[in-house]
Amino acid sequence: MAGIQKLCDRVASSTLLDDRRDAVRALKSLSKKYRLEVGIHAMEHLIHVLQTDRSDSEIIGYALDTLYNVISNDLEEEEQEENLPKQVDNLGSQFTEIFIKQQENVTLLLTLVEEFDFHVRWPGVKLLTSLLKQQGPQVQQIILVSPMGVSRLMDLLADSREVIRNDGVLLLQQLTKSNAAIQKIVAFENAFERLLDIITEEGNSDGGIVVEDCLLLLQNLLKNNNSNQNFFKEGSYIQRMKPWFEVGDDNCGWSAQKVTNLHLMLQLVRVLVSPTNPPGATSSCQKAMFHCGLLEQLCTILMATGVPADILTETINTVSEVIRGCQMNQDYFASVNAPSNPPRPAIVVLLMSMVNERQPFVLRCAVLYCFQCFLYKNQKGQGEIVSTLLPSTIDATGNSVSAGQLLCGGLFSTDSLSNWCAAVALAHALQENATLKEQLLRVQLATSIGNPPVSLLQQCTNILSQGDKIDRRGSKVQTRVGLLMLLCTWLSNCSIAVTHFLHNPANIPFLTGQIAENLGEEEQLVQGLCALLLGISIYYNDNSLENYRKEKLKQLIEKRIGRENFIEKLGFISKHELYSRAAQKPQPSFSSPDHMMFDHEFTKLVKELEGVISKAIYKSSEEDKKEEEVKKTLEQHDNIVTHYKKVIREQDQELEELKQRINTLTSQNEQLQATVTQQVSQIQQHKDQYNLLKVQLGKDTQHHNSHSDTFQMNGIQVEEVSKLKEELEEWKNKHELLQGQLREKDSVIEKLKSSQLEMGTTEQSSQTSKSGGLEHNNELQKELEMLRSQIQLQSAEISKLQIENQKLQVMNTTADPVFGDGGATAANNSELEGRLQQEIRELKSEVKALSEEKESLKQHLDSSSSTVAILQDEKSKLQQEVAESKKEQDDLLVLLADQDQKLSALKIKLKDLGVPVEDEDDIESGDQGDEDEEGDEEEQD
């Protein structure tokens, strides 16, 4: 004690850092054994060290380790002593309260956790984790209000040192417990991505305890947090869960860690599709699991061999919730076959396990839950199950076992648990489906050889009435409770089933006898269910059987049981402890087979019917009559409403047909109106033409009164036609001349091209050819302009000819009525018209030919213009080369001039020196003169 105080004094008063560091190290070594003393005396000094000595990582590490030893309750087993007082457990929370009383201490710790130094960061993480374990909500609140508090801790997942990363996962586990706000922040700080990456790196389900810690953290983030669940789904993280469930063919020898990991992975899937989640969120997750193949992977595990029993049970529960209420997933599950020979549906294989008393209890409960989820809001699946019981669909050969046969076998076996499971499963096949309740009345059972078949309803009531006479394994009450739940579900909201039930005269006496007896606590549940079944028989009674009308049954209750006693027995159901447990959640979870009494869906039915049956029992006959009258009037009103609805539908159909007919008629009317307007316009045009012709005929009769005048007119036309032919011949000749000129130009262009290829030998020859090319280019341009002008003239002449041709046609049309006046000349006129029309056709064809030739001439012109452009480009290139050669010549001349000056200066110097050089210079100059003359001659050549 005194030593600890001395060490604390050294920490507080020593000026040397080494002394303080040694004192803190000594306190650390004493902190595990003398936890209370160190915590009382040293905590304040250690916090002061964290505040003042942050520059020295070693002393900070010792201080953090000491605080961790004081606050943490996780003492190592070898250091624990048996005689430690019980108050030790509370020391951690008391010291934690002292530490977090000043919020700045937690903020300081968050700052230290940001340090990269291993000796600071790791003990800081452990200390913060211990604080959260001791006083979770208070520390969570401090971290939540601290600036970037949660974000700082998220960086631990990215630490490259696995020890810190793994302890960071444990810290976040404690931080996210039962705090939705922190869960959302952690999720939006990209926690899902990082955790899934760690799980993948560690080997998925084959990984170690790190995978387990990551899965626990994911559960914290997703469980009961709709926002995070939606974020997980929208981020496509469901698809990344599929590799977790990839198991091989050899499933023997799974390690305990792998079983734990896979168990947590399955629980994580169930968190996303839990029935307690909002329906929309659950449905979207179910669809995502189907589309990414996760459901298929789970069904593979379901049908695999060698899978441990607890994993198989949890997989069945997971598949149940993935398919619950989702038609697409339910249809897929119905199509899954077990890998047997011959292959059997997975549902049949599971039902075989459910009715087999040698299977584990939890596995049978899981199969029942799976069957219930398969049928939940699935009328198609309900119909398929019931159809296997109907006479027309039963397999006569008996080669394959159907789901219906297994349910019947379980319903009538000597194992009470199989009876209960089969009864509840069959009740779910009838849930909220009146059609199937009526169809199930047709099911006939062969009880023994030689006896007539008995209906399924009759057999259920027979077993119910026999009670304890049959020797069964398990609870005596369980079978009767299961059968009563089945009968209550079957008869509710089905008057025909009620009539069939009442038709057996032994049923009502049995029920009243059971209700009236004073039995023990176990039998009270049976009495309550019998009261419920009798109440359903009254409430849904259509009074079709005279002896069992509503009023008579009420009188029977009044005489045999008493109304108050009946209502009291009816209340036994909802007051039972097992009833309240079953009403909490859909999954059947029972601690032992004896507690397996109520089904979740049946508890809903009891809530719905308990009140209405109580009212129905107390109603008088007059009220019943009034109620029946009201029902009749309501039925009549409903019939009237349905009749009028039918009439309205028919009228709607007629209206639609009439609208379609109106649309077709309006479209036809519009088309007819359009044709009428066209015809009117045509008639108007014909009228105008007729009036013009009348005017022209009047003029023609004035100018051409005689037969000879008509011949003169024809003669004029013949002369004009001959003139046109002559002009056409002239144009043809001109066209041929133009084509010949074009050919000449083409040959010239070809020669130019060939000459240009020979140009590149010398500069002089290139200059001469270039000048020639330029001349040819100019000539070509002139000739092209002449050709264009000639073509324009030609096109003008062609247009004139076309106009004259049209005039001739008009004259022909006007001349027709004049020719018609003379009977003798009619034949001649028709011959002339035929000739004229033929000549006109010929003229048109010639004009067309001329226009085609014109187009070809244009093409020739375009090609020649392109060659001219090419020549111009080559000309510009040659000009550039000439300029460059001139520049080089000028440079050479400058150099020669410089050399001459130097030579002359040298000659003067030699002369001054007395060297005789005049003769040699003269000889050289003479030789050079000769060479220059020869060069000039060559240039002239």
Least Cα distance to 805 among 717, 732, 735 occurs for 717
Q: Fill in the amino acid letter for 812.
A: N
> According to the per-residue pLDDT averaged within each range, which of 308-322, 335-349, 690-704 is highest?
308-322
pLDDT of 81 > 60? The answer is no
**DSSP 3-state assignment of 793?**
helix
pLDDT of 812 > 60? The answer is no
Q: Cis omega (within 30 of 0) on the bond before 509?
A: no
367 in Cβ contact with 354 (< 8 Å): yes
Query: For residue 827, what pLDDT is reported?
Result: 52
Stretch 630-649: mean pLDDT: 83
Count CB neighbours of 367 within 10 A: 26
Distance CA 466, CA 470 (A): 7
pLDDT tens digits for range 644-661: 888 898 898 999 999 999
DSSP output for 170-206: HHHHHHTTT-HHHHHHHHHTTHHHHHHHHHHHTTGGG
Count CB neighbours of 682 within 10 A: 10
Residue tagged 């698809």 (tokens): 239
Q: Which residues pair with 750 in a beta bridge?
A: none
pLDDT of 536 > 90? The answer is yes
543 in Cβ contact with 527 (< 8 Å): no
Using CA atoms in the order 50, 55, 59, 64, what is the torsion angle rounded to 10 degrees?
40
Q: Which residue has the higher pLDDT, 606 or 866?
A: 606
Residue tagged 């409403």 (tokens): 641
**What pTM value is reported for the model?**
0.66
Stretch 715-719: mean pLDDT: 51
| pLDDT grade for 351, boundaries at 50, 70 and 90 | very high
Cα 701–702–708 angle (5° rounding)?
Answer: 65
Q: What is the largest CA-CA distance in the chain?
A: 175
Roughly what angle, to the nearest 10 degrees, separates helices 600-618 and 563-575? 160
Q: CB burial class (10 A; 0-12, 13-18, 19+) of residue 890?
A: exposed
Cα 565–568–573 angle (5° rounding)?
Answer: 140
Distance CA 607, CA 619 (A): 20
Q: Fill in the amino acid letter for 892.
A: L
Q: CB burial class (10 A; 0-12, 13-18, 19+) of residue 406?
A: buried
Count CB neighbours of 747 within 10 A: 10
Distance CA 532, CA 93 (A): 54
pLDDT of 820 > 50? The answer is no
Stretch 375-379: mean pLDDT: 94
Determine which of 645-654, 725-734, 858-867, 914-923 has the lowest per-residue pLDDT on average.
Answer: 914-923
Mean pLDDT of the chain: 82
193 in Cβ contact with 239 (< 8 Å): no
Q: Which two tokens stand for residue 878?
A: 């040659």
Distance CA 131, CA 105 (A): 11
Least Cα distance to 874 among 794, 713, 758, 783 occurs for 758
| pLDDT grade for 332, boundaries at 50, 70 and 90 | very high
| 268: enclosing H helix or E strand | helix 256-272
Q: Which two tokens stand for residue 833?
A: 């018209």
Query: For residue 930, what pLDDT is reported?
Result: 52
Here the contacts of 340-345 (C-beta below 8 Å, separation 24 or greater) are 342/400, 344/400, 344/401, 345/403
Residue tagged 């049976």 (tokens): 526
pLDDT of 198 > 90? The answer is yes
Query: For residue 343, what pLDDT is reported?
Result: 84
Sign for the pseudo-dihedral over CA of 829, 832, 838, 841: negative
Report the residue count for the chain. 941
Q: What is the DSSP letter of 415?
A: B
pLDDT tens digits for range 153-177: 999 999 999 999 999 999 999 999 9
